[in-house]
Structure 1
Amino acid sequence: MSLDNLRDLYQQVILERYKKPRYKGKTSPIDRYQKGHNPSCGDTIELTLHLEDDPQGGSRIADVKFEGEGCAISMASADLMAEALRGKTTDEALEMVQKFQAMMRGEAEFPTDLRKLNVMQGVAQFPVRIKCANLSWHTLKAALEAAQGEQPEFVSNEAEG
């Protein structure tokens, strides 16, 4: 696929997910809740997760939803993330956070089964927008690392590189 075609696809997917998000709202029940903020451009997100016990131990993500306000990149990234996380264990989700952040640095991409996330690679061309794309992932990491029932504070991705 040519670079122009990739750029068009990137813009098309981001606009589609921004205008018609598929995972907006709150999960029921809410097992994890985390608020995130990107002070650079004012994006905010509230992420909720419904977790189920995994037969092999640990937890599996049954549902992810988000609410918030922000630019098309931050909202599209949250929607794509929510879709990709369904059915993943919490350990797999934390690995995906690392992979997404590496992708934003141009160091990795997702395998075929998660290729929809690769459309966000286009953001890496605009370094000032990387924090927008990473906001939901940064918020997810905080939600998964928090103890269940812990009162969340706003996490900020301002210190992120």
Structure 2
Amino acid sequence: MLPEALARQIISEHGQHPRGRGEIAGAPHAALDNPGCGDQVTVWARVEGGRLLDVRFTGRGCAISQASASLMTQTLTGKPLAEARDLAARYRAMVLGEAPPDPALGELVALSGVSRLHARRKCALLAWNALEAALAGG
């Protein structure tokens, strides 16, 4: 578990300066929104040879949704698809409060406090749900 001040710093940095922004021409993608708060995200995923070669996103929203999308692209890009899906399941369980923060998630553990904020869980999972939809073919 990260110290609270460090977690806030990571969320703030990725929320204000998200990594992994942009589109991937020709790659499967999915767009989702959270009508409760207005967050919107589109996620592109390029898979080759069983590996998630690239993950990108566009959209707008709160610091949590943008930080989550940014951290997701950094964490999952280049991973074998099975490992990426496993990390996504671990992240989802953490955000929903079903599992404690897992060191395998790296900086994503900064979002573990969202599990206590039920209204913000959707923000933290929006990009991940879009990625799942993109991998399923939209």
Matched with 1:110 is 102
Name the % identity. 39
Higher relative contact order structure (alpha carbons within 8 Å, sequence separation ≥ 6): 2
How far apart in 1 are the matches of 2:36 and 2:109?
24
Comparing both structures, which one devotes a greater share of its residues to helix? 2
Matched with 1:7 is 4
Matched with 1:157 is none
Cα pair 2:29 2:131 within 8 Å, conserved: no
From 128, 132, 136, the equivalent of 1:141 is 132
- For the pair shown, the structure with the greater C-alpha radius of gyration is 1
Unaligned stretches of 5+ residues in structure 1:
54-58, 147-151, 153-161
Q: CA deviation at 1:92?
A: 2.3
How far apart in 1 are the matches of 2:26 and 2:52?
11
Q: TM-score, normalised by structure 1?
A: 0.78
Unaligned stretches of 5+ residues in structure 2:
none
Deviations 1:34-57 (A, max 9, x none): 11111111111011122221xxxx
Runs of 4+ with deviation above 4 angstroms: none
Q: C-alpha root-mean-square deviation of aligned residues, in Å?
A: 1.7
1:23 aligns to 2:15 (yes or no): no
Q: TM-score, normalised by structure 2?
A: 0.89
What count of residue pairs does the alignment treat as equivalent?
137
How far apart in 1 are the matches of 2:31 and 2:83?
21
